[in-house]
Amino acid sequence: MNKRSLVNRSLIALAAATFLAGISAAAAAPGDNTKTPSAKMQNEMQSTNAVPRPSDTLSLSAAQRKTAWQDLYMDSLNQEAPSGFNPTPGATVPNTIVTAPVTAKAAGDVPALKPYTFAMVQKKLVIVNPSDHKIADVITR
């Protein structure tokens, strides 16, 4: 694959990821913004709610893994792994791999996924800790 083709695929993947992030944000947004709590109240609510924090490991049940695959897998987002990179738990995702926030649907169906980002690499669903870019889990069909 030549460099221009790789750049084009990366741009397409980035555009798709951005689109998905927008859909997630729109789905999560309240319908009436006049009743939206202030930023301070939102921070206080977030600190009191049991929102999971991302870590470098993620243990999902077989049913949760299947649901995550169904909710997040999109062949159009599939990326080739850079030379020398093997998508395995604990590995750091290179900057050339485009990640996107987990969709609202996936976070609703599998709440443990909410704080993570994801990527499709070599037809594998890669769940990534956004704070350090470590792979927390890899899901295959």
Where along the chain do its domains lie?
A: 3-139
The structure's pTM equals 0.64
Spatial neighbors of 109 by CB under 8 A, at least 6 apart, are 67, 68, 71
For residue 123, give the DSSP letter.
T
Quote the CA–CA distance of 141 and 62 in Å, as a whole number: 11
Say if strands 124-129 and 78-79 run parallel, antiparallel, or are unpaired. Answer: unpaired
Quote the CA–CA distance of 55 and 79 in Å, as a whole number: 23
pLDDT mean by block of 10 residues, the chain; 141 residues: 54 56 52 47 48 78 95 91 93 94 96 95 95 94 86
